[in-house]
């Protein structure tokens, strides 16, 4: 007899609740245990809301579990790195990791610090901070990835062509105009600006021959990473604005680990939500059947709020990261095992510099202390507050 499916509802009603109610996956895990099923419109999904189990699942069932590509990857030559076929990933995965590491990223520190100083100073009237911080993050990451900064000849051409990529969501294909813009971007980046950048590091690793797989991946990394890092920055503004004692503590400069603890705590509470995989073939795990074709959602956000591992899990408290780092069996904001994030250095650079600069301001929040998101299961939650920065005298 085959094992049963995990418990949980496949109704349209619960699919809608999953979109609208931030506590949905947590409540389902409480009701059914850490492995349960749900639906995302026409997709059937098995959720795993326990990181130790998720590690074991991905290890034991490695051959039966596949990546779950998003539509945009079809426009990327050779696929986006996160979804690459194993042979390609074996070659490119480590190369991108090297190109995104500290020696390359830190070459843009001075540029990033200057831009953050200039741009935060403009946030004086109450606003949804997302757009402003997206522009800021994109400029910094374009500098790290491609060496783009004022004075570089291709900057304006790059900006206007890149707009056709930037305005698409992850589930949208580029379309004719977007593909034409991608072709333009490829040809202008075949000879990148000189200096330390990820693209020049890749060129060096490939003995000078940049190919479309590399260029496309870097362009789509710019798109995705801008979104991920901006999502974190708006939450940092929200947490520090709601609880200004942390800014007061930062200003005292007594503990150099506080900025990184603020980043870790913001990631824990708000900006590491899920991983998706697909059952490439049917298998059994923990006495449940995982049918072929079903999605697997690793519920990172829910693991990060598990009261077994985090005291007062809903409270913003960077001090919980004093002492030794938590094991990856309970805290994994950048993913687990294969395909874990290669952008922690990018994230640390921008978030640390923003936290540094915020110490010159009072963060004034207005509007409800709630979270909102787009009408999709894969959208990320973001705060609803409007934000103004008031310079401290
Ligand atoms: C708040 C910031 C970020 C978070 C929470 C985050 C989270 C993640 C997670 C969870 C994964 C694994 C996805 C999976 O296994 O399906 C991932 C992969 C990835 N991330 Fe990030 N990310 C962030 C920022 C960035 C940045 C700034 C970059 C810029 C380089 C980046 C580049 C990547 C890449 C290239 C992958 C695929 C890695 C591979 O397959 O080898 N991420 N990220």
Q: What is the pLDDT of residues 190-209, one digit of tens each?
A: 999 999 999 999 999 999 99
Distance 264 CA to ligand 1 centre (A): 15
Within-domain flag for 1: no
List ligand 1's pocket residues with C-beta within 6 A. 81-82, 93, 96, 100, 221, 225, 228-229, 232, 267, 271-272, 275, 333-335, 339-343, 346-347
Nearest one of 184, 269, 171 to 223, comparing CA atoms = 171
Number of domains in the chain: 1
Instruction: Report the residue count for the chain.
Output: 393
Tokens of 296: 């697997």
Whose C-alpha lies nearest to ligand 1, atom 18? 341
371: buried, middle or exposed (CB in 10 Å: 19+, 13-18, 0-12)? middle
Within-domain flag for 361: yes
Within-domain flag for 6: no
Within-domain flag for 2: no
Torsion on CA atoms 334, 336, 340, 344, rounded to nearest 10: 30
Within-domain flag for 322: yes
183: buried, middle or exposed (CB in 10 Å: 19+, 13-18, 0-12)? exposed
Range(s) of the domain holding residue 111: 12-391
Residue 332 pLDDT greater than 90, yes or no:
yes
Say what percent of the chain tops pLDDT 90. Answer: 90
Report pTM: 0.96
Kindly report which listed range (92-106, 258-272, 366-380) carries the lowest average pLDDT score: 366-380
Q: Give residue 392's pLDDT.
A: 95
Within-domain flag for 202: yes
Nearest atom in ligand 1 to the alpha carbon of residue 345 is 27
Q: How far apart (Å, rounded) are the C-alpha atoms in residues 309 and 50?
A: 11
- Strand, helix or coil at 23? coil
Given the structure tokens 């994109």, which residue do they identify?
A: 138
- What are 14-62's pLDDT values in tens digits? 999 999 999 999 999 999 999 999 999 889 999 999 999 999 999 999 9
Distances (CA, A) of 120 to 135, 226, 262: 12, 17, 19
The helix (run of H) or strand (run of E) holding residue 353 is: helix 344-358
CATH at 262: 1.10.630.10
Rounded to the nearest integer, the mean pLDDT of the chain is 96
Confidence band for 169, pLDDT divided at 50, 70 and 90: confident
Across 342-352, average pLDDT: 98
Over its C-alpha atoms, the chain yields an Rg (Å, rounded) of: 21
- The neighbour count for residue 48, using CB atoms within 10 Å, is 28
Within-domain flag for 7: no
Distance 347 CA to ligand 1 centre (A): 10
Within-domain flag for 141: yes
Task: Characterize the bridge pairing of strands 275-279 and 283-285.
Answer: unpaired
- Residue 245: which residues within 8 A CB-CB, separation 6 or more? none
Residue 368 pLDDT greater than 90, yes or no:
no
Task: Characterize the bridge pairing of strands 65-67 and 283-285.
Answer: unpaired
Tell me which DSSP letter residue 134 carries: H
Distance 38 CA to ligand 1 centre (A): 25
Confidence band for 108, pLDDT divided at 50, 70 and 90: very high
Distance 393 CA to ligand 1 centre (A): 38
Sign of the CA dihedral with 211 first, then 214, 218, and 219 last = positive
Q: Give residue 172's pLDDT.
A: 86
Q: Give residue 373's pLDDT.
A: 87
Q: Give residue 376's pLDDT.
A: 85
Distance 285 CA to ligand 1 centre (A): 27
């Amino acid at each position: 007899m085959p094992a049963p499916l995990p418990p949980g509802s496949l109704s349209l009603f619960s699919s809608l609740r999953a979109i609208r109610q931030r506590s949905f996956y947590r409540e389902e895990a409480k009701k059914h245990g850490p492995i349960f099923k749900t639906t995302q419109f026409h997709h059937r999904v098995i959720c795993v809301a326990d990181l130790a189990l998720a590690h074991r699942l991905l290890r034991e069932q490695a051959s039966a579990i596949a990546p779950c590509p998003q539509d945009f990857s079809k426009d990327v030559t050779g696929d986006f790195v996160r979804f690459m076929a194993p042979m390609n990933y074996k070659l490119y995965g480590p190369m991108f990791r090297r190109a995104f590491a500290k020696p390359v990223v830190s070459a843009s520190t001075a540029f990033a610090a200057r831009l953050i100083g200039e741009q935060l100073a403009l946030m004086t009237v109450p606003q949804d901070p997302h757009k402003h911080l997206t522009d800021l993050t994109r400029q910094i990451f374009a500098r790290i990835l491609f060496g783009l900064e004022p004075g570089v000849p291709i900057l304006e051409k790059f900006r206007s062509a890149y707009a056709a990529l930037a305005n698409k969501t992850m589930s949208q294909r580029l379309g004719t105009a977007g593909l034409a813009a991608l072709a333009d971007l490829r040809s202008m980046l075949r000879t990148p600006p000189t200096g330390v950048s990820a693209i020049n590091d890749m060129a060096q690793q490939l003995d000078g021959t940049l190919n479309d797989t590399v260029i496309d991946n870097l362009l789509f990394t710019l798109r995705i990473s801008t979104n991920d890092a901006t999502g974190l920055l708006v939450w940092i503004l929200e947490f520090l604005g709601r609880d200004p004692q942390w800014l007061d503590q930062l200003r005292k400069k007594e503990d150099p680990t506080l900025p990184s603890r603020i980043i870790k705590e913001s990631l824990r509470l708000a900006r590491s939500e899920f991983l998706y995989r697909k059952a490439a073939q049917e298998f059994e795990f923990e006495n449940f059947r995982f049918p072929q074709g079903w999605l697997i959602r690793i519920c990172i956000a829910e693991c990060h709020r598990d009261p077994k591992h985090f005291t007062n899990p809903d409270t913003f408290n960077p001090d919980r990261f004093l002492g030794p780092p938590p094991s990856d069996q309970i805290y994994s904001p950048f993913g687990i095992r294969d395909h874990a994030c290669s952008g922690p250095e990018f994230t640390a650079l921008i978030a640390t510099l923003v936290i540094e600069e915020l110490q010159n301001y009072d963060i004034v929040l207005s509007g409800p202390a709630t979270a909102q998101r787009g009408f999709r299961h894969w959208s990320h939650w973001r705060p609803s507050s409007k934000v103004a920065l008031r310079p401290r005298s």
